[in-house]
Structure 1
Amino acid sequence: MPVEPIFLLQFALSLLVIALLAAWYLGPPLSTRPLHIAIGVLLIPHAFRHVGLVFMVPGVVSPNLAQGFASSAGFGDLAAALLALTAMVALRLHLPGALLVTWIFSIVGIADLANALRQAEVIPHFQAAWYITTFFVPLLLVTHLMIVVRLIRAARDADAAVPSPS
């Protein structure tokens, strides 16, 4: 059997399970928490994105994995991890610009995932890194969505709180 259908099935099932867990068990308690705490919790898996550097490790992935993919995925994940850590600290310390850093993290992190996911031709070459893309990426996608929703709500609430000029 070709590896692509297996990959897509595993990816889709992981995405479904993680989305259900988020909707049923993670989202409800976080919805009652202050913004900086809720987003801080959602940033935790992203702080581990440095694991994506494994795409550049010979022997973990196929030697036939395109170097362009390996570098962009590895360094993109590293950038997202460092931005997630920065956002976590800024939110925790209530630093000015914490939400801006979180937005920057979200844009960079989502762009990195979109770039990696559009390159389906590399799937057969993942080897041991297969589990990153069939489990970890769905987790990152769901938490990215949850973070962006919270950021949009916070911006909307801030706009509503500003009195309009009369």
Structure 2
Amino acid sequence: MSPAHIFTLQLVLGYVAWLLCFRAYLWPRLRSMPRADAHRAIATLHSFRFFGLAFVVPGVVGPQLPGSFAAFAAYGDLATGALALLALLAWRMRPLFWSAVAAFNIVGAADLLTDYFHAIRAGLPERAGELGAAYAIPVIYVPLLMITHVAAFYMLVRSGTTRGIASDATRSPVARHGVDAARIGG
């Protein structure tokens, strides 16, 4: 089997495995959580996207890794990770939190889709060995990232983002964080 076929097969199987895991374990948990907590969990996963900078580190990736793919993937991941970190830091400032959640999901999904375009255009599947130590990123990590972006968009659209932001802003800090007044002696 050629390196391109192996890479493509592993990428597809990465999606299949993560979809099965997501459906069985992650999605039921995310759906049972308060909406903001679910988005916070997804932001936590995406806050590690700084790892994509490995695509531009000589020695981690091969010298023939197409630059048109590597630089865009690395810095797109860094931007997404920074926005996810902003969402986590803005947890108690809900309007900023929701803006950062929307931003990191839009930027992150666009980054992954553009990375696929650049990878195909640069013939990356045929030169997958040039990914070196970063080979695991597209076949193991990226499918989970894309799946969680789709889940985040679904939750944002399904629950009506602007309604959720407005109701978060008008609720008391105690109610916003799911603390029952009876449990705190009120």
* Secondary structure of the structure 2 residue equivalent to 1:59: coil
Structure 1: gaps of 5 or more residues: none
Equivalent pair of 2:87/2:96 in contact (CA under 8 Å): no
- Structure 1 156/62 Cα, relative in aligned 2: closer, same or farther at 3 Å? closer
Structure with bigger gyration radius: 2
- Structure 1 27/62 Cα, relative in aligned 2: closer, same or farther at 3 Å? same
* CA displacement at 1:100 relative to structure 2: 2.1
Which range is displaced more, 105-114 or 118-127?
118-127
CA distance in 2, matches of 1:89, 1:149: 23
Match of residue 71 from structure 2: 71
Match of residue 116 from structure 1: 115
Per-residue CA deviations over 1:79-100 (Å, capped at 9, x if unaligned) read 000001111222x214323222
Q: Which amino acid aligns with 1:43?
A: A
Q: Which amino acid aligns with 2:147?
A: V
Match of residue 147 from structure 1: 152
Question: C-alpha root-mean-square deviation of aligned residues, in Å?
Answer: 2.0
CA distance in 1, matches of 2:50, 2:162: 33
Question: In the TM superposition, what are the counterparts of 1:75-94 in structure 2 within 5 Å?
Answer: 75-90=75-90, 92-94=91-93
The reply to whether residue 129 of structure 1 matches residue 131 of structure 2 is no
State the aligned residue count. Answer: 160
* Secondary structure of the structure 2 residue equivalent to 1:64: coil
The reply to whether residue 97 of structure 1 matches residue 102 of structure 2 is no
TM-score, length of structure 2 as denominator length: 0.79
Structure 2: gaps of 5 or more residues: 168-186
CA distance in 1, matches of 2:63, 2:83: 30
Per-residue CA deviations over 1:29-48 (Å, capped at 9, x if unaligned) read 22121111011112222111
Match of residue 58 from structure 2: 58
Equivalent pair of 1:50/1:78 in contact (CA under 8 Å): yes
